[in-house]
Amino acid sequence: MLSKAKIKWIHSLEIKKFRNEYGLFLAEGHKLVGDLLPLLPCRFLAATQNWMDRNTKVKADEIIVVSEEELRKASIQQHPQEVLAVFEIPCHQMDLNELNRSLSIALDNVQDPGNLGTIIRIADWFGIENLICSKDTADAYNPKTIQASMGAIGRVKVHYCDLPELLKKVSVPVYGTFLEGENIYRKDLSANGIIVMGNEGKGISEEVAALVNEKLFIPNFPLDRQGSESLNVSVATAITCSEFRRRLL
């Protein structure tokens, strides 16, 4: 049975202050929880008997079998799906040498948790292990980010740092998307580098843009057609990463 104190503790993980204080985040749903269980330490799990019967080998520090009504009270989702779990937030160390020999994504003030979660998933799909976030980028362990990442948060290393200071230190090309950039499909792209993606409304900030030494442009089609003003940042990230990886095939 779930106590009121336990439910309050679970709900507190909606708030960044408490996620940071406890070093924990919340995940919900059989697919997401199932994907994360082999990847990260699970501190608490609450599930219906039906879910437990199908997942007899699950491991967590604390496991409670709950009714659907109890799960609804504990859940922050509108339609709970059999299970919720509390995982330990991983602690990743930034390795400059690793960044200099791989392809990474950097986010400059991306605000929407859903966009961030989708970009984490994109990074995972394209084998990009490091995602570097400016300090004002959305929290990677926000429940909306976790849901959108679909388990990729357990494989992609997310770092928060002073982004301009980091970009000054790397020795690989720093790429960014701009309206005045070169056509991404015609430009030479390196296997290693940092792809900078900017804020949903303002794009890449002036301070970070000054450190981008390779400006890219994703053309619309046909070029003379009047269409949408811009692409969603997660869509633009997917297109850019896909073109980098395509060159390696």
Kindly report, residue by residue over 176-191, the tens digit of the pLDDT.
Answer: 999 899 999 999 999 9
Confidence of residue 36 (pLDDT cuts 50, 70, 90): very high
- The per-residue pLDDT for 60 is 97
Give the tokens for residue 163. 């982004």
- The per-residue pLDDT for 220 is 87
- The per-residue pLDDT for 221 is 84
Of residues 214, 224, 219, the one with CA closest to residue 236: 219
Average pLDDT over residues 209-227: 87
- Give, in degrees to the nearest 5, the angle at Cα 44 between 43 and 48: 150
Give the tokens for residue 129. 């292990």
**Cα distances (angstroms) measured from residue 239 to each of 48, 89, 120:** 40, 29, 14
Kindly report, residue by residue over 98-123, the tens digit of the pLDDT.
Answer: 999 999 999 999 999 999 999 999 99
State pTM to two decimals. 0.94
How far apart (Å, rounded) are the C-alpha atoms in residues 71 and 87? 17
> Which region, left, alpha or beta, applies to residue 11 given φ > 0 means left and ψ of -120 to 50 means alpha?
alpha
Kindly report, residue by residue over 55-105, the tens digit of the pLDDT.
Answer: 999 999 999 999 999 999 999 998 999 999 999 999 999 999 999 999 999
Architecture field, domain 96-246: 3-Layer(aba) Sandwich (3.40)
Average pLDDT of the chain is 95
- The per-residue pLDDT for 225 is 73
Per-residue b/e over 116-140, b at no fewer than 16 CB within 10 Å? bbbbbbbbbebebebbbbbeebbbb
Kindly state the DSSP code that residue 223 receives in the 8-state scheme.
Answer: T
- The per-residue pLDDT for 144 is 97
pLDDT at 227 over 90: no
Average pLDDT over residues 16-27: 98
The fold of 4-88 is 60s Ribosomal Protein L30; Chain: A; (3.30.1330)
Average pLDDT over residues 118-147: 98
What is the C-alpha R_g of the chain?
20
- The per-residue pLDDT for 222 is 72
Q: Containing H/E element for 96?
A: helix 96-100
Domain ranges of the chain: 4-88, 96-246
Confidence of residue 40 (pLDDT cuts 50, 70, 90): very high
Confidence of residue 171 (pLDDT cuts 50, 70, 90): very high
